Structure 1
């Protein structure tokens, strides 16, 4: 599907969110909007790549890639033809902590769309030849990654940051083991993860609560009530202060850096969001961009951002520069972290950051798919719909002392875990 329904224009976003509980006990958040005859659904099932068996990384990604390759009476070609004939967009993905799905359909095809989604979730064939085909596609991507500096840098950073932990394993798998993933492995993982417990659903579009309730029970009601998740231990970013080099014969050094972050539940989180925007997230206005690119011309882009898995909050970033300037670039980044931790932002920087963060928030709601995704993310994070109206107020309430305190907490002594791929000089 090529079109997106525009998000409904409302003064209060939260008051238009209906919390539905179906007769079968499922909960979903719905925003009705009849501006265009489209329905967008997003959902997430907690338990993603972190649930892969230790010796079978990539299993959740392979599962997400195969459950729409034939289901029920349809083989892979027939299933995709059924989707295409009705202009339905249906897809699945896996990240660290969840397997997610999305669906977009014209409202006149909503019954058929939910029916196809039901088949994929409950009756995916997982035929061996389809599993082999998708697995070979993943293997081809992994082979390309071997000589991709960005992929190598991310892998080196992940392994250093999360030693002997599920977060340290690759989401898309490993060349050494990808061919060992079997249909039986996929069935076992599906039985463990696909359940109504921890299922989060967001829907936006031309559908009412009663109709949606009936469709949700028909689609998701056949899933098991309880999942069977392996515990994932909380972890703090490891090896902060170390610099690790992966030798690769390329003219440019690719840099990844990071340190522990602040969770979304922390009272200082929104002050940290503002502080990080000033430091590295404000693309063309951040201090890192100014110092590394504008003043010294060392990198085309450099950034930092706050990232949070279920069991780890981080501040991470990246840059790329000529090999001969790698050491200099890392030094400038580290010094900027140290200076910002010690002195924090200026009043002018604070004011500009807050205006940008508040003004740009509306861009997260300019299509129905984005709205549905926001509804699911809020549920995963444990927030109420009221957060949709409260978020900008939390940004606006950040004062200079708050931002400086959060910067000090976030950046500490300025030490970073740094991984560099290339032939860097001065590191």
Structure 2
């Protein structure tokens, strides 16, 4: 199963966008989410006058207060259980629900292609396979009876488990998940179901143009790596319980753990409970793990096509970007918003869709990666007859923005939109706890979230011009297209790749 993050999601700021300034420390038993800052002294409101209370003649005359939002501050919610175990507790007693997510920092990559299929199944099999003395069907029944959920996963950088349950059942769920990760049974019948699912997924991997484009995009941008290996149907079908057991050794150890606990919990009581929970987990991995190497780019710009008899061509253009933290990230994010990330306010949407009617959706994005160098992206779908013209329009807008820069209105709107998207990142206790836990995994500082608004608001028009020219250059981009090759004569020269060549082996 391919181990990478999809580059089509427009989530450039999903793990990084936060704002505000630190508030006073809360006591050990308090968890008080930050809210919009208010002045300490507010003058009493003057009596309303007929003119002041009158309904405005137009919606344009409605006055709105200045947007003032202060994002939660990580340190207010952080607890440290030991030198290797830390986490975030966000209490909300509104509903009797608890979410508990635990991340085990266990970076590694596959040692052999023959193990790729089994490695892909290990994470699911911890949960699906039951535990010693607890058959898989009994585990399912236990969770369904109390409307609770437990999931497990393993990946290149972390292993994790997640609990969703009623607060009254949380202690029992902790005991249950500990049994699952410490004494997994890897039930044979459940493994057969998982194998069948993987085989089906493999057989249907190229069912849609979008799936083909995703594989093509990876193939033309990245050099071969164990992190990108693809198992095939035959390898999936041969996975045995012994394979899964062997590859599961050393996972879910407490070498470094970061957790996110949210919902109907008392902070002090939770700390005591979690200390007991983590006390007897394995303290070090059993197996020697090979650290994952960063993905490398092929750095071969050009046009690459997979032949597919469809009426709408699927197109994505990519260029290597930066690995965060990097000073170019914030100005590039603003630049991309103006170019194509701002939906109907963006230049690409206005030109390609609104003016020319060539695409339902066209967008740009900058990748947000801390472990690998990210990509910049421009993507669209258009009729096969208009591919050349649509691409031409895209790069006309790129060149125009790089040369002339944004208008004052565009720059202001981009900053305003990016800043005002911050509250959506913290719209629930679970989201708040998890984003802080993931941030710590990536090495973000407490003040990382405080700097966001400053960085965005400091971006200048000259920086926008520079970022567009630097990271959205046609000469440095790969252009991946899925569509009928016979209709693309105007794009020549290009390289045609077969479906069989898209896999990493």
For normalisation by structure 2, the TM-score amounts to 0.75
Instruction: Give the direction of change, closer, same or farther, for the CA distance of 1:82–1:263 in structure 2 (3 Å limit).
Output: same
The separation in 2 between residues aligned to 1:182 and 1:349, in whole angstroms, is 57
2:313 equivalent to 1:256:
no
Deviations 1:237-269 (A, max 9, x none): 324422211112222222222111122211221
What displacement does 1:94 show?
5.3
1:203 and 2:264 correspond: no
Aligned CA distance change for structure 1 residues 127 and 343 (closer, same or farther; 3 Å): farther
Which deviations, in whole Å up to 9, do the C-alpha atoms of 1:282-329 show, x marking residues without a partner? 222222222222222222222232222612222134322222222333
Give the match for residue 44 of structure 2: none
Look up the SS of the partner of 2:134 in the other structure.
coil
Pair 272,174 (structure 1): closer, same or farther in 2 beyond 3 Å: farther
Structure 1: segments with no counterpart, 5+ residues:
1-6
Number of the residue aligned with 1:182 = 240
| Residue of structure 1 equivalent to 2:48 | none
Matched, 1:68 2:93: no
- 2:453 is equivalent to residue 395 of structure 1: no
1:126 aligns with 2:186: yes
Are residues 60 and 31 of structure 1, via their aligned partners in 2, closer, same or farther at CA, if it must alter by over 3 Å? farther
Aligned residues: 419
SS in 2 for 1:28: strand
1:164 matches 2:224: yes
Range with bigger deviation, 235-244 or 367-376: 235-244
Per the TM alignment, residue 357 of structure 1 is displaced from its structure 2 partner at its CA by: 0.9
Paired residues of 1:49 and 1:59 also in contact (CA < 8 A): no
Evaluate the alpha carbon distance shift between residue 47 and residue 260 of structure 1 in structure 2; reply closer, same or farther with a 3 A threshold.
farther
Alignment match of 1:10 (pick from 35, 46, 60): 35
Moved more, 47-56 or 105-114: 47-56
Q: RMSD value over aligned CA atoms?
A: 2.8
In the alignment, the residues of structure 2 paired with residue 34 and residue 16 of structure 1 have an alpha-carbon distance, to the nearest angstrom, of: 20
8 Å CA contact 2:398–2:468 kept in 1: the answer is no
SS at match of 1:311: coil
Cα deviation for residue 166 of structure 1 reads 3.2
For the pair 1:359 / 2:420, whether they are aligned, the reply is yes
- For 1:356 and 1:382, how far apart are their aligned partners in 2? 27
Tell whether the 8 Å contact from 2:160 to 2:252 is kept in structure 1 after alignment.
no
1:330 aligns with: 391
1:92 is displaced (CA, Å) by 3.4
Higher deviation after alignment, 299-308 or 174-183 = 174-183
Distance 1:149 1:212, change over 3 A: same
Residues in 1 aligned to 2:391 and 2:156: alpha-carbon distance in whole angstroms: 28
Contact 1:236 1:260 in 2 (8 A): no
Partner of 2:144: 84
Please say which of residues 348-357 and 291-300 is displaced more in the overlay: 291-300
**Quick check: 304-313 or 52-61, which moved more?**
52-61
Name which one, 1 or 2, has greater alpha-carbon Rg. 2
